[in-house]
Structure 1
Amino acid sequence: MDKLTFNFFQEINKDNNYNLLFPKREVGLAIAWLYQQILVGAFTDGTFKETDIHEALDKMHPGAKKPDHRKQTDRFNIIVSDLQHYFIRYDEGKQAYFFKEYGSEFCKHALETLYGNFEPTRIEKICTELKKNLEACYEESDLKDWLDIEFDTFKPQLKHQIDYLERQIDQSVHEIRQSQIKKGDTSILETLKEISERFDLIRKQNKELNAAFRELDRIKQLLEQKAIRIDDKDLGDRVFSVQQFIQEMKKLLSMVDQRLDRIQPKVKQLFANLNKPLFNARIEKFLAYLLEYSTVETVHSKKVLQLPDTIPKWIFYRQKPKFTIVERKKDLFPSTAKRKHTYTENKDHKKKAYQKSRERFQQQNKVDIWLNQIEKDLQQTSEISFTPYFFKAFNENDQNLELAIDLVYRVLQEHSSYGWQLHIDEGMTENQENGSLQIRKMSIQKKQHEAV
């Protein structure tokens, strides 16, 4: 049974599976508390006693701080029994418990999500390593190992970085909505300033992550090249899903930029609107201070305004320096006149170039006609052989090998855009009219996923 035939919803809805996989809040917090104790080294070798589990459950109980609270030992024993399905395992030799793989991953995933570590440098190294190992895949078995072992391992880490940026935006928007605006209170202005600076940082991080993902474009191109030689349908579908994932990563990065484009100007405008009354109030207070504490003194029969001692002295007038201007005569060092070249039009060369371009255009037009014919024939049947089309294009155009080769190149280059899937065999087929010309057998099919 594989993932496609396994009915996930039916199984998780069966019996008590959902509650065993996702326990209640107080039980989940108790699991997190035990995991934290392991991280800080409170539990040696990662094991803990049943009394430790009871202690964790008792700490997280909603009524733990009430005076009449009593430890519910019998209920805790039932919870411990339930946790042994997926979260913890009992070691009879040590008479202690330790986390199962699901329990560790349950806590580890939550920790990494909340910690929100941004690592574009590490992501760039991962993408570079994935590309390097993909280039070394020459057989279908190698490609399967690359998909199962390497790409699936690092796929969550690639998407986690974009999730981190989106969480930063959501948190900033939430802080704006929760801020209380009070008259004369500068806390909201400081909050908006911090959020505006945070948006600038997010935009910078988004550009860094986009640069770290640049190797994904090369991976996508390599997969397209390898997909031509894949005969296994399941493997082809997996390659196609990887290409879709890469496209999704690029789209999500673009969406982060679009969100910043919508939100950031509004935050800056709000900051400016709220800051304007405060700025006006400070200017008014400053002017009142100058009027009250400034004095006028007589210096050499001139009245001079003396600002308060706390105001820095400014020099309002400064004598401009005088520069000597040396005039440059334009005819002092006259430049040598250059001879103007004249070109005569060669009508023969022009006619030959035009004729060559016209022939090339006509050839491209003929290739387009053959491609349309292949597409039309694929509407009638699910699979066709490409060999007859190649030889017809060769024979019906005065054995123009360049046109036939151009047709092959266009099929290999543009089959994805037409929704075709190519299958190339090792066998060769000869031209019936000219036995010296051979081509490898190749069939064309419509991709099945296009019908979805």
Structure 2
Amino acid sequence: MSLFNLYNEIEKEYENLIPLKQEGLVLFHLYQRQKDGNIGKEFSEEEIIKSLREIRYDLKTYQKEQFNHTIKYFQKYFLWRDENNRQYRFKPFTKKWCKLIENILEETFNPTQLQKEFLYLSNTFNEQSFSEWYTTTFESYSQRVDTQINTLYLQIDRLVIDFRQQISNERAYDLSALKSIVNTLEDIRYKTEELNNAFSGAYDIRNKLLKSRIITEDILLNRQCENVLYFFQEVQSNLKIISKRIDSVKPRLNEYIRNINRHDFYIRFKCFFNQLLEKSTLEKGKIHFPNEIPSIPIRNAQQIKFIIVKENFDGASLSQFKTAKSKIPITNEIETENRFILEKERFEVQKRINSYMFDLENRLKMYQEVDFSAFFYEVLKKENGNINICVKLAHKTMYKYHRGDNTFGISISNEMVGIPEYPIIKIWKTIIYKRM
């Protein structure tokens, strides 16, 4: 008995399983009508033809032969036909197919709810009952998250398409609609950041998995563990893709809006000027504008001055223009010295920050992960409470390891940490770790 081969089978049945757009839309039309209660679980051939004619609005006459061919095509994989009462109903494949597409398109995004669900996912994780947690909690949750993240990416494409449609006609665009598209894009960025923050806690699960005794000779457990680790790594990677796409698209849309503003001003000014001249009259060397706008002479009222150059032109005879004397800047020694001191202090601060960054990099190479919160307070002590240096160090670290370097990741939890020496200074628990 030969083994099942997906490619070989789909190659033979592709056209029957994946309908063309017009036939597929008929099935969705019937599915929606059934969902709305307009047709029952069983429906007649006339109902199918009704959906066919609504989809194929280009058909002006009743195409019986074409309708019969389509209905017969549906009967292989999509519709059951009851020969006795001549009624039709959906096959299981059609229901699953329509429902899957419905879920993908209908899926909404709620970062606050996702954060709550992620905390539940993290809190319910237990290495002793890992297999049960994997099947009952993780599998269903991960599928929904994948769908929602993909929805975010599709929303960006949809916004770009809407933007292009808005600007397809330069005289018909709506500037407020264009700005609304850019604002929606910014809203997606905010949602992405919220979701990224929610998933930063994935480090806790990753850490538990790596340090637990789940890694055994049990192949199934090892595979499940790898799936969990890969899922969170993939989520963070996909969110970074979305953020980079927004960073790429948004500046170009904003620049186009600025160009539209300039172009719009030119069009309006040209239109106004043409209307003004059409309703103006010319009388005695003056243009008389309508609506009591003051008239102006056509000729320039100011006499133009010329320089007459004779045949026996002598350049020396022209009056020489006086050149302006160059001014020597007045230097203030005290101010110059102060600027020098400030620049020297700035250089020293930058030098110390670079030294701390070098120390952090060495620790990451050696230990693969660093508690940045502890490192932050370690630097704070060395700097005798100079919070400005620590803040600059944190900013440079976040920029490098969160946005620049894909080798390492950053996990930020909601736990606030501090030290007794500086009780008013607290930061979130932050871990920098090497990605798998």
Q: TM-score range by the shorter chain?
A: 0.5 to 0.7
Q: What's 1:64 paired with?
A: 59
**What amino acid sits opposite 2:153 in the alignment?**
I
Please show how residues 280-319 of structure 1 align to structure 2 within 5 Å: 280-281=269-270, 284=273, 291-294=289-292
**What amino acid sits opposite 2:186 in the alignment?**
R
The one-character-per-residue Cα deviations of 1:302-359 (angstroms, maximum 9, x if unpaired) are xxxxxxxxxxxxxxxxxxxxxxxxxxxxxxxxxxxxxxxxxxxxxxxxxxxxxxxxxx
On the 8 A contact 1:26/1:61 being kept in 2, the answer is yes
SS in structure 1 at match of 2:89: strand
Deviation at residue 132 of structure 1 after TM alignment:
0.9
Describe the shift of the 1:52–1:282 C-alpha distance in structure 2 as closer, same or farther (beyond 3 A): closer
State the identity as a percent. 15
On the 8 A contact 1:33/1:56 being kept in 2, the answer is yes
Q: What's 1:375 paired with?
A: none
Deviation at residue 262 of structure 1 after TM alignment:
3.6
Q: What's 1:265 paired with?
A: 254
Describe the shift of the 1:81–1:265 C-alpha distance in structure 2 as closer, same or farther (beyond 3 A): closer
Describe the shift of the 1:198–1:162 C-alpha distance in structure 2 as closer, same or farther (beyond 3 A): same
**What amino acid sits opposite 1:225 in the alignment?**
K
Deviation at residue 92 of structure 1 after TM alignment:
8.7
Larger gyration radius, structure 1 or structure 2 = 1
Q: What's 2:315 paired with?
A: none
**Partners in 1 of 2:87 and 2:18 — Cα distance?**
23
**Partners in 2 of 1:202 and 1:170 — Cα distance?**
13
Q: What's 2:191 paired with?
A: 208
On the 8 A contact 1:54/1:76 being kept in 2, the answer is no
**What amino acid sits opposite 1:124 in the alignment?**
T
SS in structure 2 at match of 1:293: coil
Match of 1:156 among 147, 153, 163: 147
Q: Please list every run of 5 or more consecutive structure 1 residues that lacks an aligned counterpart in the other structure.
A: 297-360, 373-416, 419-448
On the 8 A contact 2:146/2:235 being kept in 1, the answer is no
On the 8 A contact 2:43/2:88 being kept in 1, the answer is yes
Deviation at residue 114 of structure 1 after TM alignment:
5.8
On the 8 A contact 1:47/1:98 being kept in 2, the answer is yes
Match of 2:19 among 11, 23, 27: 23
Deviation at residue 34 of structure 1 after TM alignment:
0.6
Q: What's 1:378 paired with?
A: none
Deviation at residue 154 of structure 1 after TM alignment:
4.0
Deviation at residue 12 of structure 1 after TM alignment:
1.7
**What amino acid sits opposite 2:28 in the alignment?**
A
Match of 1:147 among 138, 141, 147: 138
Match of 1:171 among 162, 169, 181: 162
Deviation at residue 193 of structure 1 after TM alignment:
4.4
1:125 matched to 2:83? The reply is no
Pairwise CA RMSD of aligned residues?
4.1
Match of 1:11 among 9, 12, 27: 9
User: How many residue pairs are counted as aligned between the two chains?
Assistant: 287
1:78 matched to 2:68? The reply is no
Deviation at residue 191 of structure 1 after TM alignment:
3.2
1:42 matched to 2:25? The reply is no
Q: What's 1:195 paired with?
A: 178
Q: What's 1:302 paired with?
A: none
Deviation at residue 254 of structure 1 after TM alignment:
0.9
Describe the shift of the 1:20–1:134 C-alpha distance in structure 2 as closer, same or farther (beyond 3 A): farther
**What amino acid sits opposite 1:270 in the alignment?**
N
On the 8 A contact 2:209/2:225 being kept in 1, the answer is no
Describe the shift of the 1:295–1:202 C-alpha distance in structure 2 as closer, same or farther (beyond 3 A): closer
On the 8 A contact 1:88/1:100 being kept in 2, the answer is yes
Match of 1:102 among 90, 93, 97: 93
Deviation at residue 238 of structure 1 after TM alignment:
0.3
**Partners in 2 of 1:142 and 1:282 — Cα distance?**
72
Deviation at residue 241 of structure 1 after TM alignment:
2.1
**Partners in 2 of 1:253 and 1:211 — Cα distance?**
13
Q: What's 2:201 paired with?
A: 218
Q: What's 1:313 paired with?
A: none
Describe the shift of the 1:94–1:245 C-alpha distance in structure 2 as closer, same or farther (beyond 3 A): farther
The one-character-per-residue Cα deviations of 1:233-268 (angstroms, maximum 9, x if unpaired) are 212220222123212232133123213334223312
On the 8 A contact 2:125/2:205 being kept in 1, the answer is no
**TM-score where L is the length of structure 1:** 0.53
Deviation at residue 141 of structure 1 after TM alignment:
1.3
Please show how residues 397-412 of structure 1 align to structure 2 within 5 Å: none
**TM-score where L is the length of structure 2:** 0.54
Please show how residues 382-397 of structure 1 align to structure 2 within 5 Å: none
**Partners in 1 of 2:210 and 2:81 — Cα distance?**
48
Q: What's 1:247 paired with?
A: 236
Deviation at residue 31 of structure 1 after TM alignment:
0.6
SS in structure 1 at match of 2:59: coil
Q: Please list every run of 5 or more consecutive structure 2 residues that lacks an aligned counterpart in the other structure.
A: 216-220, 281-287, 295-358, 369-406, 409-434
Describe the shift of the 1:11–1:237 C-alpha distance in structure 2 as closer, same or farther (beyond 3 A): farther
Q: What's 1:32 paired with?
A: 28
Q: What's 1:396 paired with?
A: none
1:135 matched to 2:123? The reply is yes
SS in structure 2 at match of 1:23: coil
